[in-house]
Structure 1
Amino acid sequence: MGLPGAHTLTCTQWSTPGDKGLFQDGDIIIGGLFSLRFIPPALNQDFNEQPSYKACTGMENLPLQYIYAMVFAIEEINQSESLLPGVKLGYYIRDSCALPPWAIQAALALVGGDRSSCSTSAPPVSAGSRPVPLIIGGASSITAQILSRTLAPLSVPLISYTASCPCLSDRRQFPNFFRTMASDVYQARAIAQLAIRFKWTWIGAVIANNNYGFMAVKVFQEEIRGADVCLAFVETLERQNIVNDARRAALTIKASKAKVILVFTWYTDVRELFQQLDELNVTDRQFLASEAWSTSGNLLQLPVTFKVAHGVLGVAIRSSPIAGFESFLKNLNPSRRPHDDFLREFWEKEFGCTLSSNALLHKAALPPCNGSETLEEVQNLFTDTSQLRVTYNVYLAVFAAAHSLHSLLSCPNTHSYPGDTSNCSSPENIKSYQLLQQLSKVNFTTPQREPFYFQGADVPAKYDLVNWQKTAEGTLKMVLIGRVDGFDLHLNESAIQWSSGSSKVPISVCSTSCPPGTRKASRKGEPVCCFDCIPCADGEVSNTTGSLQCEQCQPEFWSDEEHIVCVPRQLDYLSFNETLGITLTAVAVSGITLTAAVFVVFLRYRQTPMVRANNSELSFLLLLSLKLCFLCSLVFIGRPAVWSCRFQQAAFGISFVLCVSCLQVKTIVVLAAFRSARPGAGTLMKWFGPRQQRGSVCFFTCVQVIICIIWLSLSPPVPEPDLDVPGLKVTLKCAMASVAGFAMVLGYIGLLGCTSLLLAFLARKLPDNFNEAKLITFSMLIFCAVWVAFVPAYVSSPGKYSNAVEIFAILASSYGLLVCIFAPKCFIILLRPEKNTKKNLMAR
């Protein structure tokens, strides 16, 4: 009893008014959620009426194909004799309107049993209102997360066909979630592998402003880490502000040097982005597409896409044929499915007629259908079965559910809960938690002869690689160019048509790869992909493109002019064939000739007073030693050998000691002769006669001989390349193993020279008309000056020029002695013979 005028209590539980979905009764009912319509109704925010989720509008053709893929799979299973024999599957398919609230409402209606009225005495549950033990749906990752968390306490399995967020793989958060769509991790890694494979080091990214886009960028960056690939920029697109966001992204793309752009967002966002790029006349970019838009027929058909985005390289959900499905779709007809509201709505939209009996009341603008309409000639996304991608995922989801039911119904059941007495052979007693357990263990071969199993919530990742190519008709077509199996990439590079229209791989770099012979040098404050190319230093090479550092050549090698390879170093030494060697040889031979000529003159005029004065023996010995000095200079020219390295220093040291010893003895003789002229000093010359003079020269020379013998016996010079000096040419020289030995040789010569200079200086003012002490003083001044300058010049001279300095010092000092001592005498002997008399020489 109620109050007068009161209405029967009615309410809505888990249902959408005016939209009951698509139902087919069976022993077991499988639920389906599809985003069939994309235009939500206007919601009343005034709170003046009871809130409800009204039906959406704007039916899409492709989701409708997904619905009938589920219907087709269930009918195929019902006709199978091996899969669920004797069990008829039914379905209850609802529209989720692509919005989480609508999806939750529809899902709860499916799992709770759809009752459109409630009262104090509810009617018995009809066949069409039985709760479903499993739902195929959750088109987006967000919707799948919400549905999974909502249904998890009820242990209702949810099998998604397009949710790809890696977060859904977490079994702790989503224990009841399964999917036939691979995780986005795999496609992001596949795109990263493409970037690495084609050496694109500077890539721009345009992503959706949600987890789908951010996850893709994160995985992409993880995969390219260490591969010298960088993101030039990351622009986000939000659907609520798509025009402004797309304009901003287009301006960034135009301003960037990145020629390859990764786009990870929905095709509707991509369409606006292409529109903005067209307005900015940006037509030379190579796009990398995610599966969300790589197979979009709508985008392919747009003229702006042909201008802006030909050559797109993308990852797509794996396509697989479904035998008999095309025929099934072509034969659909509302006359054979009178209760199919989805088909009725599609039919009326496609053929522009109405099937309703009250057509004049509801759709006066549309004529009634005449019954001759057929889908045989219809070409749209609903009837196109050339590439079944998401459709195939729906198909697999139905078979996964069927095989788990088959395992549950055909084997003894293990009770999961205490007190559970259900029998697995009875379809009426199917429990959701039992089905959830069986789904985790399902393993079967699909009708397409492919193995199918779940790895947790996921299936093994399989993708197609597609390329948008131009056709002769001025349109774009999608061409299969490879595939992705897990983390393995299989690609036919020769089949790719790039954005340039050619088969040449586009270049997208911040800095051009450093050629061989150079190395990378990072720019301060910029990514590692932006760098300068620095030429390798001398002695270093880099033989590969993009070297991080130059490698030092081995000591025996040096870099070539391009700094690409290490080549053997060329041995260099002072040779007789080069200009310097020829010049020094000519000067030395001239010195030898001149000394020989003086020797001949002195020998011919040996009885003259000029020659006999001051011991002619010492003069001849001095000339001999000078000739040896000139000769030893020639030993320093030519390729150093073991014998030459030992002989040259010994010959040089002994020859000069012999020469300086003769001068020292001659100076002593002059001083002794002057002192003997004084009273009481007559016996001085007796004690320093010719025998003593010769003995003195031999003694001084023997000391040097002993020094040389000890030096050359213990640590002689050996021929070695001077590898410490940089350059392609390395000097082959006599390396002083013992610097002390060489210093003693030079020191002894210097000691005798200084002594001779001192004695000659003391005798320079003796009252003879021809005072030889003066000549010796000048010669020894030149000798000492030359050898004092020799030491720093020798040390600082590089390579073979150190030998040239030593030869110059030998020749200069030898010429100084020869000219200063013998030139005045030869002048008198040859040109002033009247002065070559004892009287003239003794005159004061």
Structure 2
Amino acid sequence: MVSAGWVLLILLFPDAVGVPVRAKCTLSGYHHHGYYKDGDHIIGGFIPLTKPPSRANHNFHTAPELSERLHSLEFKSYPHMLALIHAVEEVNKNPRLLPNVSLGFHIYNAIFEDETALAGLWGLLSETGQTVPNYRCGGRGGSKIVAVIEGPTADHASRIATALGPYRYPQFSYGHLDPESRQKVQFPSLYGMVPSESSLLASIARLIRHFDWRWVGLITSDDGRGKRTVETLRKEINKAGGCVAFTWLLTEYERYGPKQIRLLDDVQRSSANVTVLHGTRMYVEAFGMVLSWPRVHLKGLVWILTSQDEFPSETKFSSLKAFDRALVLVGQKRPIPGFEPFLQRIKPRNYQGDMYIKAFWQQVHKCLWRYTSWKPRCTGEENITTNKVREHKLLSPTWGYGIYNAVYAIAHALHALVSERPLGSTKDSQAWQLLSFLNKAHFSNPAGDDIFFDRDGNVVASYEIRNWIFSPEGSLGVVPVGSIQPRAPLGQGLVINENRIRWNRRFEQRPQSVCSQSCPPGFRKKHRQGEAACCFDCIPCRAGEIANQTNMERCLQCPDDQYPNEGRDKCIPKAVTFLTYQDPLGVTLASLALSFSLLTISVLGLFVKHRNTPIVKANNRDLSYILLVSLLTCGLCSLIFIGRPGKLTCLLRQTVFGVAFAVAISSVLAKTITVVLAFKATQVGHGLRRWLRPGVSNSIVFWGTLVQVILCSIWLGSSPPFPEYNTQSEVGKIVIQCNEGSVGIFYGVLGYLGLLAMISFTVAFLARKLPDAFNEAKHITFSMVTFCCVWVSFIPTYLSAQGKKAIAIEIFSILASSMGILACIFTPKVYIILLRPDRNSKQFLKKK
């Protein structure tokens, strides 16, 4: 938020909507108002060189006492100023970059109490020591100020961006920017030299995805940034297939208390082995102090720390010991080229305008400018050796890398502007003209990094993955283990050496962090009611389904021509099958059919041979021949059911069977009626004797068969049987079978045969007490009982069977019913003909 002082100033000067107006102002004291070096183009710098004092008088207006400077000097920010000075000097010495054009700088101490900060900002824009808002007082040509570098906090950036926005000065922030400050429409000239927080959170999600951690805890700061972090990181983790096990928001100022106790209890009870701690360096250190309390004994965890601030290495930090073996993501920084030689050349006499260099000198060389007995006296000629640079925690060669890149971005944009107008002068150029070149800037800095900005104005950079390892003495060792390019395509941009990572001692190998173990192939996930999506049970796939990957949400149905293997993790092609003559069942049924046919032929031959004997003639010889031929046809038609079904065989199977049995049952009915009429019309001239003519019995057979022929003709004409592939009847097999077409007509054919059989049974049953010698009624009764029992049993059995079994049941029913008729009707006659020829005579028949 913009403070009241800033808003008031803007309200007082409503004309501040463009380039400051040039006016005549005195230039006295210009070199006193900040640390200044002249050049063709000036880079403004707002760096907090001191801590906020009790009174705001440290903005280079008057020089404070050395002791006060030493006490208030912000040592971690002073190298930032040195990095800016070094970068400007390096650019000016480069003959290929901005030839014949020099860069200068004007650095202000950005304590950022409103009054002092406003004074410095408007003084910079006015180009004079006087604060004249909306007026440019310095320079004879165009404005020398081309860009402003500031930092390190988001508040600093937003305040300066609000004031500089109307003037379109390019602004470079080397600190972390609030996501709200990254609205390009509101702040079109603001550029971030630190990767955006969204890219950091995306990098965390990539790291979690790489290790397949699906159950992660999240702890962050209790402020607007922390809440946005929770929302963003939850989406990123969910997108990667994971879930957030618990979320806690804590301020960095909270100490060990009830809220922390509840948090630690949640962490201890949770099955998550990975916890993300996101916040500033101070926040991480404060939470580490909570974990360091003697009463806190957490189980071994994998901590992911995401602070972009530098943590000095090889230093004792008792508050960070709780994060031993943690993985830390930091913005990748390279050593600034030539920074060490630059530091070694620094002498206080060469920087007379820098009132804080002596305080810095005392800190680095551990000396005092005044005489004391406990420390050596500073001479100003001491050398900052390589060892001192490496040992001093604030002189890291990577410190100020963002400022270094900002200077080079400004230089390359100016170089592009110079190249566009080679014959003209750039000294009268306006700062806003650099924006189009900055948006398109893409260059390699002297360290070898590619520098360019994304559409939101953030520098695109990678993150370094570090492994913290504390020694028994408490010294922090930092081991680089990889890097992440957050904007690389998914599956790329992550380079990590897992062999270098040392995990928490609780884990012998790469740790897992899941709410539920992965469902193996062959199983699918069933989510638990009321729990996170990562908490589920594994249930096996149903019949006909497979799961060929782990953690599948649903099983896949195998195609009709395939079936699941035993593990239900892949589909196997089904074997094509049908009832063949090579099949044991087919061989058995074919043998029975041939045996029955041979037996029927034998009986028929026996009857033909003894056709003139009384036993053959007495029972209507012609009907016996018709019945035997029809039974032979029934036996042989069962062979059509064996073999690969085709169009012709499917058409013939049921129709031949239905017509053949219709002839057989009609013949039996005709024989039964003939027997009844023979005994009822014994007197000469009886009215029933005319029905005993041979043509009557043949008519019964004809009309009984004709009805069945008509039914079969309708069947073949309307919905004939056809071959089909049955993929469901047998597991792992495709059965080629005949589809009956019209099921209604099929059962109508069977029903008609049943009707004929019931009529024959009824007539035969009523005639069962007639004289035995001429009476076949008893035998016909038994044959029809057998026939009906077989086919009544057939229907439910056929309906419950599938594939080859259904075909086998129908063949068996055909043979069984045919055998029953043959056995019941013809066995007594064959017995008399072959074994009791004495009974096969007229005298014996008359006697009976």
TM-score (norm 1): 0.77
Unaligned stretches of 5+ residues in structure 2:
1-31, 57-63, 132-136, 139-143
Cα distance in structure 1, aligned partners of 2:766 and 2:419:
132
Letter matched to residue 35 of structure 2: F
Q: 1:94 to 1:585 in 2, by over 3 A?
A: same
- Say yes or no: does 1:290 pair with 2:325: no
Q: Work out which of the residue numbers 328, 344, 347 in structure 1 matches 2:342.
A: 328
> 1:184 maps to what in 2?
197
> 1:810 maps to what in 2?
814
Q: Work out which of the residue numbers 268, 279, 284 in structure 2 matches 1:270.
A: 284
Cα distance in structure 2, aligned partners of 1:403 and 1:766:
127
Matches within 5 A, 1:420-819: 425=427, 434-435=430-431, 438=434, 441-442=437-438, 448=446, 458-468=457-467, 476-479=477-480, 481-482=482-483, 484=485, 486=487, 490-494=493-497, 497-500=500-503, 506-578=511-583, 580-585=585-590, 587-589=592-594, 591-592=596-597, 594-595=599-600, 598=603, 609-678=614-683, 680-681=685-686, 684-685=688-689, 688-690=692-694, 692-694=696-698, 696-697=700-701, 700-701=704-705, 704=708, 708=712, 711-712=715-716, 716-723=720-727, 725=729, 727-739=731-743, 742-743=746-747, 745-768=749-772, 771-819=775-823
Q: Work out which of the residue numbers 210, 221, 225 in structure 2 matches 1:208.
A: 221
> 1:234 maps to what in 2?
247
Q: Deviations over 1:395-427 (max 9, x none)?
A: 233455667889999999xxxxxxxxxx9858x
Report if aligned partners of 2:253, 2:286 keep a CA contact under 8 Å in 1.
no
Cα distance in structure 1, aligned partners of 2:735 and 2:201:
59
Q: 1:651 to 1:803 in 2, by over 3 A?
A: same
Q: CA deviation at 1:769?
A: 5.9
Cα distance in structure 2, aligned partners of 1:511 and 1:437:
57
> 2:404 maps to what in 1?
395
- Say yes or no: does 1:65 pair with 2:75: no
- Say yes or no: does 1:378 pair with 2:388: yes
* Greater displacement, 833-842 / 662-671: 833-842
Cα distance in structure 2, aligned partners of 1:350 and 1:385:
9
Q: CA deviation at 1:222?
A: 4.8
Q: 1:604 to 1:300 in 2, by over 3 A?
A: farther
Q: 1:70 to 1:703 in 2, by over 3 A?
A: closer
Report if aligned partners of 1:514, 1:547 keep a CA contact under 8 Å in 2.
yes
Q: Deviations over 1:103-153 (max 9, x none)?
A: 668757877899999xxxxxx99xxxxx99965323111232234335657
> 1:355 maps to what in 2?
369
Letter matched to residue 667 of structure 1: T
- Say yes or no: does 1:161 pair with 2:166: no
Q: Deviations over 1:523-582 (max 9, x none)?
A: 333333333444333333343444343333333333333333333333343344555445
Cα distance in structure 1, aligned partners of 2:795 and 2:394:
96
Letter matched to residue 564 of structure 1: D
Q: Work out which of the residue numbers 47, 52, 71 in structure 2 matches 1:34.
A: 47
* Greater displacement, 330-339 / 163-172: 330-339
Q: CA deviation at 1:87?
A: 6.2
Q: CA deviation at 1:391?
A: 0.9
Q: CA deviation at 1:513?
A: 4.0
Cα distance in structure 1, aligned partners of 2:416 and 2:825:
124
Letter matched to residue 329 of structure 2: G
TM-score (norm 2): 0.77
Report if aligned partners of 2:277, 2:304 keep a CA contact under 8 Å in 1.
yes
Q: CA deviation at 1:674?
A: 1.1
Q: Work out which of the residue numbers 327, 337, 353 in structure 2 matches 1:312.
A: 327
Q: 1:613 to 1:115 in 2, by over 3 A?
A: same
Q: CA deviation at 1:453?
A: 6.9
Cα distance in structure 2, aligned partners of 1:713 and 1:804:
27
Q: 1:568 to 1:75 in 2, by over 3 A?
A: closer
Helix, strand or coil for the counterpart of 1:239? coil
Q: 1:241 to 1:761 in 2, by over 3 A?
A: same
Cα distance in structure 1, aligned partners of 2:799 and 2:615:
42
Q: Deviations over 1:440-491 (max 9, x none)?
A: 6556967627776777872441224333276999963342734537555533
Q: CA deviation at 1:592?
A: 4.2
Q: 1:588 to 1:487 in 2, by over 3 A?
A: closer
Report if aligned partners of 1:21, 1:94 keep a CA contact under 8 Å in 2.
no
Letter matched to residue 755 of structure 1: I
Q: CA deviation at 1:29?
A: 7.0
Q: CA deviation at 1:225?
A: 5.9
Cα distance in structure 2, aligned partners of 1:627 and 1:554:
44
Q: 1:555 to 1:87 in 2, by over 3 A?
A: closer
Helix, strand or coil for the counterpart of 2:329? strand
Cα distance in structure 2, aligned partners of 1:400 and 1:604:
120
Helix, strand or coil for the counterpart of 2:671? helix
> 1:138 maps to what in 2?
151
> 2:35 maps to what in 1?
23
Letter matched to residue 89 of structure 1: G
Report if aligned partners of 1:21, 1:341 keep a CA contact under 8 Å in 2.
no
Q: Deviations over 1:177-210 (max 9, x none)?
A: 4443333222223333444455443333222333
Cα distance in structure 2, aligned partners of 1:612 and 1:439:
123
Cα distance in structure 2, aligned partners of 1:693 and 1:471:
112
Cα distance in structure 2, aligned partners of 1:787 and 1:86:
110
Report if aligned partners of 1:633, 1:811 keep a CA contact under 8 Å in 2.
yes
Helix, strand or coil for the counterpart of 2:485? strand
Q: CA deviation at 1:602?
A: 5.3
Identical-pair percentage: 32
Q: 1:247 to 1:468 in 2, by over 3 A?
A: farther
Q: 1:56 to 1:838 in 2, by over 3 A?
A: farther
Report if aligned partners of 1:496, 1:503 keep a CA contact under 8 Å in 2.
no
Report if aligned partners of 2:389, 2:396 keep a CA contact under 8 Å in 1.
no
Cα distance in structure 1, aligned partners of 2:533 and 2:613:
91
Helix, strand or coil for the counterpart of 1:204? strand
Report if aligned partners of 1:523, 1:531 keep a CA contact under 8 Å in 2.
yes
Unaligned stretches of 5+ residues in structure 1:
1-19, 45-51, 118-123, 126-130, 413-422
Cα distance in structure 1, aligned partners of 2:577 and 2:197:
65
Q: 1:741 to 1:267 in 2, by over 3 A?
A: same
Cα distance in structure 1, aligned partners of 2:146 and 2:824:
125
Q: Deviations over 1:668-692 (max 9, x none)?
A: 22122112213631x7546533465
Cα distance in structure 1, aligned partners of 2:311 and 2:445:
27
Cα distance in structure 2, aligned partners of 1:103 and 1:454:
28
> 1:9 maps to what in 2?
none
Q: 1:645 to 1:101 in 2, by over 3 A?
A: farther
Q: CA deviation at 1:265?
A: 0.8
Report if aligned partners of 1:411, 1:425 keep a CA contact under 8 Å in 2.
no
Letter matched to residue 809 of structure 1: S
Helix, strand or coil for the counterpart of 1:795? helix
Helix, strand or coil for the counterpart of 2:623? helix
Q: CA RMSD in A?
A: 4.8
